[in-house]
Structure 1
Amino acid sequence: MGVLYVIRHAQASFGAADYDVLSDLGHRQSRALGQALAVQGVMPDAVFIGAQRRHRETLAGIADGLGAPVQPQVHAGLNEFDFKGLLDARFRDAPAPDGMHSDRRSHFRTLRDTVLMWQRDEVPDPPETWAAFSDRVADAKAVMQGAGETVLAVSSGGAISQMIASVLQTPADQQIALQLQMKNCAVNRFISTSNAMYLHGFNETPHITAETAEELLTYS
């Protein structure tokens, strides 16, 4: 039986020209999480990340906090879906809501409705189909399931939420409901056997205490 820790990346740069860069706070979050995992005795024998910069930078901070070097394997199934491209595809021929890419409230409200449409194949010419996204996440899950006794992965909220939804066999619309709850640097734990996987912990933040919550607790 193995334990798989799938961690959402630390705070990136919402509203900036390049979202895929950790903020200064994001770097502090990732180091704090690594320190908390070290206290828990977590020492991975296999590590995976997506191909995005925020995944690599988050893992670097975690490794620094753990006090141990890591050699990750990159798997495209851990990449986030192209949420900007998806939103733009939905509103290609119609006016987009104000602040869709820059205002958090507008962005996440619009994203929720757009993902539900995407799941029903109602977004014309998306950057990626929902089926393709689901398949690559499933492939990442299968690869990590047998990779070691303690496996750690860094991914993004959409991919992690789809992994959880598939393990729990929920309706498709629960993916976005899970995604919109997920904190930066949240830890999601799975127990895996040779032929099954079970959710054992969701959206955990062992690096956050009452004293540090005001600084370290973020969602975007």
Structure 2
Amino acid sequence: MAEILMVRHGQAAFGTDDYDRLTEVGWEQSRLLGDYFVRRQMTFDAIFTGTMRRHRETLAGVLEALSEQPPATELPGLNEFDFHALVTAYRALNPDTNVDTRDARAFYGCLRDALLAWNRGELIDVAEDWAAFESRVRGTLSALTEPRGRVLVVSSGGPISAVVRETLQLSVENMVNLNLQAINTGITRYYGNQKLLRLNTFNAVPHLESPDDSRLITYT
């Protein structure tokens, strides 16, 4: 039996030329998560991340407070889908869509429509289709559930919500809604093994619950 903690990366640099890096807020969120693990005397028997910079940097922030943890295994299946490409493809299909891509609220509203269109197979010229995305995420589950003990996984909102969909048999629309609610460094906890995985907690941020930390509740 494994306890699997899937953590969304810290705040990334939305609206800049390089989204795939943590902001100073993202680094602070990650370090506070590491401090929380120390206070709870939590150590890990296995660690997995995607291959993205924001995943590696989030783990680095967490590990500043933790010592003698196992080396991380990188799994490309934990990477986020290319949401910028999906929004571009959706806007090409719907030229009347007017959205300021520098405004996070407007962008993610458009992304919701793009994700649903992606699932319906309507978007063209995208490198990965919906079925391939779900397949690669599903393919990571055997690796994540193989170890015994406590497992830390650093990934992104898309793969995390896809695992929730797989576990609870959610509709795509409900999965997308969960995806867009994912808090940076939010913890989604499972218990299980390769035969059965049970969701225990979704999107928890116990390390950010102090009133002084309310500014650290972010979604990008």
Q: Tell me whether the two structures share a fold, i.e. TM-score over 0.5.
A: yes
Alignment partner, residue 116 of structure 2? 116
SS in 2 for 1:73: strand
Q: State the alpha-carbon separation in 2 of the partners of residues 120 and 98 from structure 1.
A: 22
Q: TM-score, normalised by structure 1?
A: 0.95
Deviations 1:118-160 (CA, angstroms, capped at 9, x unpaired)? 1111112322100000001001122101123111010000110
Local SS of the residue matching 1:212? helix
| Residue matched to 2:64 | 64
Give the 3 Å change call, closer, same or farther, for CA 71–111 of structure 1 in structure 2: same
The number of aligned residues is 219
For residues 57 and 69 of structure 2, what CA distance do their matches in structure 1 show?
Answer: 13
Q: 1:1-220 counterparts in 2 under 5 A?
A: 1-92=1-92, 94-99=95-100, 101-220=101-220
Other structure's SS at 2:92 match: coil
Q: Which moved more, 1:122-131 or 1:84-93?
A: 84-93
Unaligned runs of 5+ in 2: none
Contact between 2:99 and 2:110, CA under 8 Å: does it hold in 1? no
Contact 1:165/1:172 (<8 A) preserved: yes
The SS at the match of 2:20 is coil
Aligned to 2:207, the other structure's residue is in SS state coil
| Aligned residues: CA RMSD | 1.4
Deviation at 1:96, TM superposition (A): 4.6
Do the aligned partners of 2:45 and 2:69 also contact (CA within 8 Å) in 1? no
Q: Distance in 2 between matches of 1:208 and 1:96?
A: 36
